[in-house]
Amino acid sequence: MNIERQTISLNGLRFFSYHGAEVQEAVAGAWYRVDVDICADVRIALNSDSLNDTVNYSRVASIVKRQMDIPSKLIEHVAGRIATDLIGCFGDRIESMNIRVVKENPPVGVVCEESSFLLSLRR
């Protein structure tokens, strides 16, 4: 079998968090979504059926939640912290990842459904 890519994804993780550069954003909070795609070498898990041989979805969700619970001015900063934490947890198993942090209804002075930041990393 010639495996081209192995991607583990969590999409639409939703949090009420206190991020934003404006004072009212840090006080009032807002809804955010996070999508994570992790390309990882999990070939062993294809046969072993063991969580130890893959990127555990539950651990990924826990890491994202932990970082979303820490207030930041910028969603870019939040995405960077999530990436650093994921690499710290799963190490060399991660080949690349995309982390999208979406702020719903951002206060930009006009109707705007969402603003987002996409961080793409490759080892």
- Catalytic residues, which ones? 103
CB 29 within 8 A of CB 64: no
Burial of 64 (0-12, 13-18, 19+ CB in 10 A): buried
Pairing relationship of beta strands 30-40 and 94-104 according to DSSP bridges: antiparallel
Sequence-ordered list of residues with C-beta below 8 angstroms from that of 76, at least 6 positions apart, any chain: 117, 119
Q: Is 105 left (phi over 0), alpha (psi -120 to 50) or beta?
A: left
